[in-house]
Amino acid sequence: MKKLIIFASGSGSNAENIITYFNSGNLAKVSLVLTNKADAKVLQRCERLNIPAFYFNKSAFQSGTLLGMLNNENPDLILLAGFLWKIPSGFIEAFPYKIINIHPALLPKYGGKGMYGNRVHEAVRANSEKETGITIHYVNEHYDEGGIIHQEKVTLTSEDSVENIASKVHELEYEHYPKVIEKLLMDDD
């Protein structure tokens, strides 16, 4: 059974979707969820789903304490799902091509520091984009710049509000993030 660890900073709807998806099969399980926000909703979701989940602070993140924990867990993949801190280079060196992020737009557009959540969708709308989508990519030392693994697009109209755009993008995330993870795990065999 492959082991997945998720990092999330907020609501955690993608985390829940990934947990549920892999709970129904025998390929992999989410063994741990980690958050940098003590009151993140993802903690409540994990309690309900019976998945171990922990909060960590910046010093644990930067000092190597958390990296030590990850090394002990030895996950097959580390999944970022709405995680807002930049991943330290030590993590990337310890887990090459094993840390994956999902970004709610078609990178390289609308990425980088500060581009998260509705800020992304607001910028997409302000530019009257005809399409947006999701990008699943490897994580490197720079925000949203690692090699792209998979993208999916959705059409937008001038009627689409920021909320509509967010909901179209979430639909793509829920459908494709678990499947892309599954494929990476199977290709790894």
- 124 and 106 Cβ atoms separated by less than 8 Å: no
Q: What is the DSSP letter of 111?
A: -
- Three-state secondary structure call for residue 30: strand
Residues 4, 12, 111, 156: which binds ligand GRF (CB under 6 A)? Answer: 12
Active-site residue flag, 103: yes
Q: Is 146 in the site for ligand GRF (CB under 6 A)?
A: no
Residues 21, 61, 79, 82: which binds ligand GRF (CB under 6 A)? Answer: 82
Q: Is 173 in the site for ligand GRF (CB under 6 A)?
A: yes
> Which two structure tokens, joined as six digits, stand for 40?
């993140």
Q: Is 10 in the site for ligand GRF (CB under 6 A)?
A: yes
Closer to ligand GRF at the Cβ: 10 or 75?
Answer: 10
Which residue's Cβ has the minimum distance to ligand GRF? 82
Separation of alpha carbons 133 and 189, rounded Å = 29
Q: Is 76 in the site for ligand GRF (CB under 6 A)?
A: no
Instruction: List, as one string, the DSSP characters of 119-143.
Output: HHHHHHHHTT-SEEEEEEEE--SST
Q: Is 8 in the site for ligand GRF (CB under 6 A)?
A: yes
Q: How many residues line the site for ligand GRF (CB under 6 A)? A: 15
Residues 28, 102, 139, 184: which binds ligand GRF (CB under 6 A)? Answer: 102
Closer to ligand GRF at the Cβ: 102 or 107?
Answer: 102
Overall residue count recorded for the chain in this entry: 189
Q: Which residues pair with 3 in a beta bridge?
A: 29
Terminal Cα distance for the chain, rounded: 12
Closer to ligand GRF at the Cβ: 2 or 103?
Answer: 103
Catalytic residue, chosen from 103, 137, 142, 150, is: 103
Rg of the chain's alpha carbons, rounded to an integer? 16
Active site residues per annotation: 103
